[in-house]
Structure formats: structure tokens, C-alpha cells
Structure 1
Amino acid sequence: MEHIINLRFGNKKIEVPSGTRVSAIVSHELKLNSSTPSYGENPVIALRMNNEILSFGAKLSVDADIEPVRLFSDLGKRIYRHTLSYLLAYASEKVFPQRRLIVGHALGDGFYYTFDGIYALDENDVKLLAKAMRELVDANLPIHQGTVSYNDALRHFKDKGYLATEMLLSYRNDPTLELFRCGEFMDITYEPLLPFTGLVEIWELKPYGDRGMLLRYPLSSDFLHIAKFRDNPLLFSVFRENKIWGNILKVNCLGEMNNICGSQEIFTFIRMNEDLQHRRIAQIADMVEQKGTVKVVFIAGPSSSGKTTFAIRLSIQLRLLGFNPIQISLDNYYRPKDQAPLDDEGKPDLEVLQALDLQLFQQNLKDLYAGEAVDLPKFDFRENGRRYYEGKPINLKNNTILVIEGIHGLNPMLIPGIDRSTTFKIYISALTQLNLDDHNRISTTDNRILRRIVRDNRTRSTTAQQTLEMWPSVERGETRHIFPFQNQADVMINSALEYELPVLKPYAEPLLKTVKPEAYDAYPTARRLLGFLENVYPIPADLVPSDSLLREFIGGSEFHSECHTS
């Protein structure tokens, strides 16, 4: 007997046979899509089922509340960008079947790609790939989601030479896997894809760097156009440096990382990671000394980049060079929440520069530059917050360097009138260079979210759901107030450690599992992160050195017992 399931779409109730695909629900039952929807129509491209995101090929088997996901939405943009990457992989297999395409890092409004080995991309190669992609878009091919056995999937990736995917799957034992097929191309993805290639309408593929290319997509602020290209050479240089580190460590994808986590090599690998980071911090301290006129070092970066521990470790290196560093957190200049500026929703906005008592900070800095002794404020973050003083004034001596960290450290409005030659600016962020496999990248934002979930639960008793619900506000603040000033920095540093995801996994997984389907905004992200973490081989936290930057998030740091920074 056919099993009937009940679906609820607002006030509308729908009865369909169990196993009905999402595509049929959207087109036949909800009548929300034409047979050939166009990009500009902002079509429905997926379905929320009890808050889980399903592609058109997925089957429904239980009673559920359903809601359409449209292209021009936060969830839609992720699906679009993921499909765009899938399409480039398909085009590459058609045009250059003997080459191994590798997705790299995000750079502005695009993803950086290279070919492995001896293949350096030239302008003609990029034109051929763009032409093949456009032909796939014009053909408006369906993208099918299907289930295959584990053995068949492994055989397919081995035959295709997708060694990174094969290696990753060696740490999975699922009886079946979900793959996406388009024409003769089949690949694994870890997020839903668009239903048709014709929807991948707006993009740009351009040569970039000395041997790569940039696959650009529309920004959330304008889904209908590609923005004017703005280069970020400083950020790109950091990724290139970390690619070299990856080659030194012999780890560029998660499968290789898993192999090391499951062996005795992990001890040496962790030490090499930490020593490379120590070395880079020492190099930055040398740069400060060589400038010769520095009185203030500003450290800025997005949430969960590790600013606090980095400031401490940089101060240690400066001490070795004969300086007397004094650390200051801009967080101590916050106004009480009841005096904070309000965001568009009428809530206190702690991400804007005006959330700080700028007048007090600028006066303190001016007085220090004038040789006066200054008692600097401290801020208690409990309840509405309050400012207090410890009665320990400081002053700038010949060998004193102020090390000031905070999310607004690179904003020129922070220090108007201060001689630029007396400042040194550092941008720090967690920029993971690991990929899941050749065609699926690990988002640096996801890495930072995991860090923050773990740290906030430990230091503030904040639930994973609360962290995920406030993250969009954090991202908006970063986009408006941090990222625009990246290139004001004298130097950038990557705080990500190659082994940190295996350490974060045992902390993050149980916290993410507390996020239930009724958590409308948080649940899709929690499910996505849990699905990603399934691929990670865990390692115990006691392997992490006590002076590691990672300790800022998992606890046990020799530098501080708690971190309340943003």
C-alpha cells in the first residue's frame, strides 16, 4: 500500500506519496517554478524540509513543514557558488581531462584555482574553460542527485584519478553516498546544487596570479551583476605563503591530514605547525624593530582570528628584541550596552567603531605620546558592562611599544592625527589552506565559526544555537568595518593551524547536535557543519602545546584562563 505523507506549506496542506522528489513538490504542488526558470526570476532552487536544506533531487519520506529557498537569499547564494565550482570542474574534465584541477582559497568575490603539477594556466587555457562553462550553461542541463554504493563511488573516483576524494572516502564507511550527475560528469559535493546548469548565469573566469585563475561570482549586495574587480595582493601573498607551508608539511587536503592524524607522525606534525607559526611571528617582530620608529602596533582581524594570543606571543618576541611591550585591548574601550549604537533591527551594534569610546581612547593615546602617565581603563563584560580602573598608570619610554588589538585596529578613524611612521599595522585571520578534496574547499568562515562556538561555550556558556544566530550580524560587521581596511596593514598573518579541525571536532560536534530543527536560522548551518565534520579524523586536545594559539579557543592556555574577546 502506498504510504502518504503530509506536507505543510504555510496554511496549505499537501498530501503526496512518500518518496516524492523535491522537484515535483516545487513544480506540481506549489507551482512555484516554470519548467525552465531563469536566473533573473529569482527562482526556487531548493526546499527547506523541517529546516533541513534539500536539493531538487532529494526525496521526501516523512511529514514535514516545507518552505522554498530562492536563489537571491543567503542560503541560495551558497548553493549558487557551490554549483559554479561544480560547473568549472565539469568544464575542466571536458577541456583538460589529463589535468588535475584544484580549488584553492576564497579571494574577495571569487575562488582561486590552479592545475596540479607542471600545468600553469595561460590566458588561452582560461578562455577555453570559460567557453566550455558557457556552453554548459546555455545547454541548461539538469543536475541530478543520486545514491550510489560506497564501492561504486570509490571505484569511480579512482578511475577518474580523483585521489584526494578517494583518500577522503577511505575514512568513511557509509554504505551509500550521494553524488551529483550532470551529463557524463559525476562528482561528490557536500552541499546541495542548483537543479539546472542554466541558472549559473552570472560569473567571470579570469587569469590571476602567476599560474592560476579566479572564478568570480555576484556579491550578496547585487545578485544581478559582477562587481568591478578589486585586487587584494597582500591577502593573496598570505595564501601563497601558506601553500608553501602546506608543501613543507606535505598536507594540502583533508584526506592527507586524516592519514597523519591516525599515525605517530601527528606529534611531529603538530610541532612543525607550531614552529612555523612561531617563526612567522618572530619575523613580524623583526619587521617592527627594523622600522625603527614604531611606538604602537595595531592588530586587527575578524572574529575568532586569535588576536589575543597573537598579541601575547608577539609581545614575547618584542621583549627578546629589547622592547618593553604593553598590551591593550580595544575591548576595554567599549561603551556600556545601553549606550551602544543601534543596528537596523534596533539592537545594540557592538561591531561598529562608534561602539567604542573613541574620544577616551584618542585622548589616552595623545597623552601617552606627549609623555604623560595614563591610567588605562578595563571593561567588565558582565550584564550591561562597566568601565573601571586599576590605578596602574603607564607611560611611553624609549623602549616601550604599545600592542593594541581589536577588530577596528586598522580603521584610520581610530587614530586621526597620529604620525603613521610611529605605527605598525597587522591583519590576522584564520585562513585555512586545506581542501576537502580537489573540487570542494573548506571555508575559512566555517573554521572561524567552529572556533567561536567552542570558545563562547567554554568562556560565556553560550550555546551553539546562540552563536550561530548572532553570526550573520558578526559577518555584516566584518564586511563593513574590518575587511575594507585589510590592505591598510603592513603585514598579514594566517592564524590557522593545519591540525586544528581534528582538535576542534570533539568539542564542536556535541554542541552542534544540541541545535534542533526548530532553530530556524541556526539549524541549516549546524547540519552543514556536522556533515563536514564527519570527514575529519579527531585527535585529542592534550597534544596541543599550552602556548598554542588554538588554546585560546579550547582552553588550557598558559597565557590566560579565559578569553572574552570578539
Structure 2
Amino acid sequence: MKTVHIKCLNNGKAGCYKVGTPLEEIAKDLGIKLKTPILGAYVNNKLRELSYEVYHPKTIEFIDITRPDGMRMYIRSLSLVLYKAVDELYPKAQLRIEHSVSKGTYCSVEGEELNIDDVLRINKRMKEIIASDTPFIHRQEESEEVITRLEQQNQHDKTELIRHRGQLYTSYHQLEKHIGLYYGYLVPSTGYLKVFDLIKYYNGMLLQIPKRNNPDELEDIVVQNKMFDIFQEFAEWNRVLNVRNLADINDSCSNGKAETLIKISEALHEKKIGHIADMIDERKKSVKLVLISGPSSSGKTTFGKRLAIQLMVAGMKPLNLSLDNYFVNREKTPLDENGEYDFEALNALDVELFNEQLLDLLAGKEVEIPKFNFETGQRYYDGEKLQMNDDNILIVEGIHGLNPQLTHLIPDQSKFKIYVSALTSVNIDNQNLIHTTDNRLVRRIVRDYKYRKYSAQDTISRWPSVRRGEDSHIFPYQEEADVMFNTALLYELSVLKQQAEPILLEVQPNQPEYTEARRLLNFFSYFRPIQTSEIPPTSIIREFLGGSSFDY
């Protein structure tokens, strides 16, 4: 009997197993117990399902829902259960999983006007499917056969993506007669999905998911009315443009429409920024400070510079100031619970110096602005000075812009608060959304590689810390904004693909970050590339691509 050597990182044990042994059997034999049920495993730093059979020596780490990949598996599996429930109850309708909001996923059902009773029916059917503990079957067939199956189930939104990839065979998941094309793995069976809820939310439904660190409880619903309105506004605009899914973007690339898509996307940004400038102009008698906040890689800096131009058009005299100038020296940066530098903490900024200079500026005094070198981690001065007159307005951008502690000495009527983020408004298809966090991560990978000399491995390894910082220091204040601005561009991931892929390919298989790099590379395989030549030098995406006409 042929055997293979297996090393398990969860408990440090090693052993030999018969060739073709599935991961689920290995986990049972090794007695692996995690906080919650095992959902999958990293096999030589590649994510695999528990049905995966081992034929060569492997290093294995089993994961549960407390890991990001485990949570993704859980949500994908819930999505297929939801699709099955909706299709059975409303066979003429079309489920669309729209976007993340209020710590859940907003879903709509096109072709039906859902009321509370409808949502309760769908919820009940989902619970019945989950109680049946039906397995998710992972299959692989010839691509043309998969396309035929999808078209039979009225899932035409997925077929063009399969054709674009040009693969002879395509993988999919099956739940009884219903099939789903998901760009990642699922849990073993529906019985793993006991913690969820589905509630009426605006004109659709909110799919609630478990807390990552306490998976027996649902995430608390956080009211995000302004955030939801922005998503809906852009979703409606996309409908007008007839661009709702990735296949529509790819179609623009192949039919010579990419230039038009770029021009329209940029014009929409310009119009929105001009509208915000008009809002500030209406309050110019009282407002002296414009605060721009948003998570990492949301395009705050370029937005601030473009807003300044629009304010000048309105007859105002803006001055720009970045909170990035006020980072403390690296050795003074606070540490997080893992002993890593917590750059997202408020105390990573020299709040005392910032307030001192802010009060001086508002009093008309001249101050010398500090600078920060991200490569050396040290502050320096290059002689740049700033002074405000009575007709100036100060624009301050940084992740803590909306935190009341940052500007607690300034009266509220003197502030205008703006929240910006890359709120991706186009999906891969009707059941697979593009997470805004992935959009921002890709932006950051490209920018850090180009301007901060960080590898993709460096950026990916720090991303969980960045996300924790955002959850603690940014997101709690976003609904306090006077206005929100979506910096995402319909075409941007098709452009970023060309710069991100070579950087991601540098991550080695023996590095822990390989799993995430591989996930993003698989994600990009569905995109047709768009060239950068038509992107204007003032575009927000130029902050990450390079070629901007703004100084940073």
C-alpha cells in the first residue's frame, strides 16, 4: 500500500496515510479540535475543501470560521442555500447578492416585491435546507457542459465569464439539483450553517452572518443608512449604464467601449465632487475645517486635492493638510495585541502636535509642517510652511478625520465631515459580490510596492492588522459624516490587474501569505485588462497606479 507523509501544523503531529485519503479523514485521525467545526484546510499554503484527497507529501493546517478564508467559505455556502430557497419559492425571480452593509450582506430578488412574509418564507426554507444536512458536491466538467447547466437554471450572468477564461474544464458546486459557480470553496454540507438569519431590509433582505470571534452569535446590526444610500445610488447608475456584473465590464474591453466607460466613470466622480464643494460653499461662513476620513487605500489624498480644485471654482481658497505628516517616529508607534505596529491607532499620530498646529493655523499663525518617511519610519522637516487667512479653508485628510478626539477643541459648526471609501458597485455575477476590502487591498498592494518598497507579502501580512484598526478607529464614525463619497471606479480592477498580478506572483509557496496571493490571482483571472492610456492624470486611481498630476 502506497502512503504519503503528512505534517499537521495545528498540533505538530506527523504521520503516513494511504494515498488518496481525504482531509476530513486525516483530521479525525489526528483528533484535530478547533474552536468551531473544521471547514477546510491549508494544504501547502493552498486552501482546500475537506473532501480534498492527498496524493503527495503535504503540510496541512485545518481552519474554521474564525479565519478569513473559513468565513468566506461559510458565506459562500449560505449564498447557495439562499439561492436554492429563492429559486424554489419564486422560480421566476432572480436573486441578486448586492453588497456588504450593516455587518451583513444585502440581497434583492428581482421580479418580486418582497414583503416581510416573503422574507420569513425564504428564511424558513433556508433553515429546512440546513437542517437536512445536505452535502455540497464539488464537481468539474467540460466548460461547455457547465455553461449548458447554468443556462438551464437561468444563470446567464455566469456563462460569459466561463467563456472569457477559456478553460477546457470548469469547477462548480451542486446542492441537490441547484448548481452554483463560486470563486472559492464551500463547507462540506448545509448542516454546518446553523448560525444565520435573514431579515427584511429596505426593499430587499439582509443576510446576517456569525461573529468571527464568537461564531455562536450573529453580528450585531449596525445602522448604516448613509452607506446604504451610496451603494443604492451607484447601483441605480450602473443599471442606467447597463453595467452590473463583471461580464459587462469585460464586454466593454472587447468591444472598444472601455474608453467610454472610463470617461463616464471619471465624469461621475467629478460631478459628485463638485456637488460636495457646493455643499461646503453653502456653509462657508461657519466652516473653516473640512475633515476627510476613510479606510486604507480609499483615495483620500487625491479626493482632497480634487475637492480643493472644486472649492476654488466656487471662489474659496482651500489649503490641504494630510494626517500622514503627523505619524510618530517608528519606535514610538503603539503595538497591537499581537505585538505588531498599530499604524491605525489614533496614538500612532502625534495628536498633541497636530492640535497645536491646527489651533495656530486657525488663529492665522504660520507653522512648519512635519513630513514622514515611510521607508525609514522617521519624521523630518523640509521647510514647508502653512498659514491661513480669513478667506482660507483647511482640508485635512486621514483615517482619523471623523474621530471626535482628533479635533475636540474645534466647535462642530466649524467642521464639514466627509467619509470616502472604495465602495465597489459592480459584482462578479448575481451571486458573487466583489468585496470593498478586496478592492482596497489590491490598491494598497500596488501602491505599497511602487511607492513604499513593500512586497505583496509585506502588505498582505499586515492587512489583518489594518482591518482590525479600521474596525476600531474608522468604521464606528463613518455615519457621522455630513456626506459620503464612493471613490471606486467601474473600470479600476481591470486596470489594476496588470500591475497587481506580477507583484502577487512574487509571493512564494512556502510563505503563509501565498494563500491570499493565490486567491487574488484567481480573482483577477476573470478580468479582461484595460489599458491606462485613457485614464486622466487627476483620476483617483492614479494615486495607486502612478502618473498622477498631483504631488503626494
- Interval of TM-score (by shorter of Structure 1 and Structure 2): over 0.9
Aligned with residue 225 of structure 1, among 213, 217, 228: 217
Which residue number in structure 2 is paired with residue 386 of structure 1? Answer: 379
SS of residue paired to 1:279: helix
Which residue number in structure 2 is paired with residue 530 of structure 1? Answer: 521
- Measured at CA, do residues 179 and 375 of structure 1 come closer, stay the same or move farther in structure 2, by a change above 3 Å? same
1:177-230 deviation per Cα after TM superposition (whole angstroms, max 9, x unaligned): 111112222111111111111110111101111x21100112224211124422
1:376-402 deviation per Cα after TM superposition (whole angstroms, max 9, x unaligned): 3333334131232515341232x2110
Are the counterparts in 1 of residues 103 and 220 from structure 2 also a CA contact under 8 Å? no
Q: Within 2, Cα distance between the matches of 1:422 and 1:342?
A: 33
- Measured at CA, do residues 115 and 559 of structure 1 come closer, stay the same or move farther in structure 2, by a change above 3 Å? same
Alignment-mate amino acid for residue 327 of structure 2: Y
Unaligned runs of 5+ in 1: 34-39
1:414-463 deviation per Cα after TM superposition (whole angstroms, max 9, x unaligned): 11131111110000000111111111111111111111111111112211
Give, in angstroms, the shift of residue 310 of structure 1: 0.5
Are the counterparts in 2 of residues 111 and 214 from structure 1 also a CA contact under 8 Å? yes
Which residue number in structure 1 is paired with residue 325 of structure 2? Answer: 332
- Measured at CA, do residues 315 and 254 of structure 1 come closer, stay the same or move farther in structure 2, by a change above 3 Å? same
Residue identity (%) = 36
Are the counterparts in 1 of residues 3 and 16 from structure 2 also a CA contact under 8 Å? no
Number of aligned positions between the proteins: 548
Q: Within 1, Cα distance between the matches of 2:82 and 2:228?
A: 21
SS of residue paired to 2:102: coil
Which residue number in structure 1 is paired with residue 238 of structure 2? Answer: 246
1:72-104 deviation per Cα after TM superposition (whole angstroms, max 9, x unaligned): 333322211221112111111211111110010
Aligned with residue 436 of structure 1, among 428, 444, 455: 428
Which residue number in structure 2 is paired with residue 488 of structure 1? Answer: 480
Give, in angstroms, the shift of residue 264 of structure 1: 1.4
SS of residue paired to 2:81: helix
Which residue number in structure 1 is paired with residue 69 of structure 2? Answer: 75
Q: Within 1, Cα distance between the matches of 2:543 and 2:271?
A: 19
Q: Within 2, Cα distance between the matches of 1:467 and 1:258?
A: 28
Between 1:436-445 and 1:537-546, the stretch displaced more is 537-546
Which residue number in structure 2 is paired with residue 21 of structure 1? Answer: 22
Give, in angstroms, the shift of residue 538 of structure 1: 0.6
Q: Within 2, Cα distance between the matches of 1:221 and 1:518?
A: 27
Give, in angstroms, the shift of residue 346 of structure 1: 2.9
Which residue number in structure 2 is paired with residue 352 of structure 1? Answer: 345
- Measured at CA, do residues 142 and 555 of structure 1 come closer, stay the same or move farther in structure 2, by a change above 3 Å? same
Which residue number in structure 1 is paired with residue 182 of structure 2? Answer: 189
Are the counterparts in 1 of residues 424 and 435 from structure 2 also a CA contact under 8 Å? yes
Which residue number in structure 2 is paired with residue 109 of structure 1? Answer: 103
Unaligned runs of 5+ in 2: none
Give, in angstroms, the shift of residue 4 of structure 1: 4.2
Please state if 1:172 is matched with 2:173: no
- Measured at CA, do residues 257 and 554 of structure 1 come closer, stay the same or move farther in structure 2, by a change above 3 Å? same
Are the counterparts in 2 of residues 379 and 387 from structure 1 also a CA contact under 8 Å? yes
Give, in angstroms, the shift of residue 31 of structure 1: 4.5
Which residue number in structure 2 is paired with residue 551 of structure 1? Answer: 542
Alignment of 1:119-268 (within 5 A): 119-209=112-202, 211-268=203-260
Alignment-mate amino acid for residue 255 of structure 2: S
Between 1:145-154 and 1:76-85, the stretch displaced more is 76-85
Are the counterparts in 2 of residues 298 and 405 from structure 1 also a CA contact under 8 Å? yes
- Measured at CA, do residues 291 and 471 of structure 1 come closer, stay the same or move farther in structure 2, by a change above 3 Å? same
Give, in angstroms, the shift of residue 17 of structure 1: 1.7
Q: Within 1, Cα distance between the matches of 2:528 and 2:517?
A: 19
Are the counterparts in 2 of residues 375 and 393 from structure 1 also a CA contact under 8 Å? yes
Alignment-mate amino acid for residue 153 of structure 2: K
Are the counterparts in 1 of residues 19 and 56 from structure 2 also a CA contact under 8 Å? no
TM-score by length of 2: 0.96
Aligned with residue 377 of structure 1, among 355, 365, 370: 370
Are the counterparts in 1 of residues 370 and 379 from structure 2 also a CA contact under 8 Å? no
Please state if 1:90 is matched with 2:76: no
Give, in angstroms, the shift of residue 492 of structure 1: 0.5
Q: Within 1, Cα distance between the matches of 2:479 and 2:25?
A: 49
SS of residue paired to 2:59: strand
SS of residue paired to 1:273: helix
Alignment-mate amino acid for residue 73 of structure 1: R
Q: Within 1, Cα distance between the matches of 2:51 and 2:173?
A: 9
Alignment of 1:451-470 (within 5 A): 451-470=443-462
Please state if 1:51 is matched with 2:45: yes
Alignment of 1:270-309 (within 5 A): 270-292=262-284, 293-309=286-302
Are the counterparts in 2 of residues 126 and 206 from structure 1 also a CA contact under 8 Å? yes
Give, in angstroms, the shift of residue 347 of structure 1: 3.1
Alignment-mate amino acid for residue 480 of structure 1: S
Are the counterparts in 1 of residues 35 and 64 from structure 2 also a CA contact under 8 Å? no
Aligned with residue 403 of structure 2, among 406, 411, 432: 411
Q: Within 2, Cα distance between the matches of 1:445 and 1:266?
A: 24
Alignment-mate amino acid for residue 411 of structure 1: N
Are the counterparts in 2 of residues 306 and 552 from structure 1 also a CA contact under 8 Å? yes
Q: Within 2, Cα distance between the matches of 1:3 and 1:246?
A: 56
Are the counterparts in 1 of residues 369 and 381 from structure 2 also a CA contact under 8 Å? no
Are the counterparts in 1 of residues 24 and 51 from structure 2 also a CA contact under 8 Å? yes
Which residue number in structure 2 is paired with residue 61 of structure 1? Answer: 55
Which residue number in structure 2 is paired with residue 37 of structure 1? Answer: none
Alignment-mate amino acid for residue 529 of structure 2: P
Are the counterparts in 2 of residues 57 and 146 from structure 1 also a CA contact under 8 Å? no
Q: Within 2, Cα distance between the matches of 1:226 and 1:11?
A: 34
- Measured at CA, do residues 227 and 187 of structure 1 come closer, stay the same or move farther in structure 2, by a change above 3 Å? closer
SS of residue paired to 2:164: coil
Give, in angstroms, the shift of residue 319 of structure 1: 0.5
Are the counterparts in 2 of residues 253 and 435 from structure 1 also a CA contact under 8 Å? yes
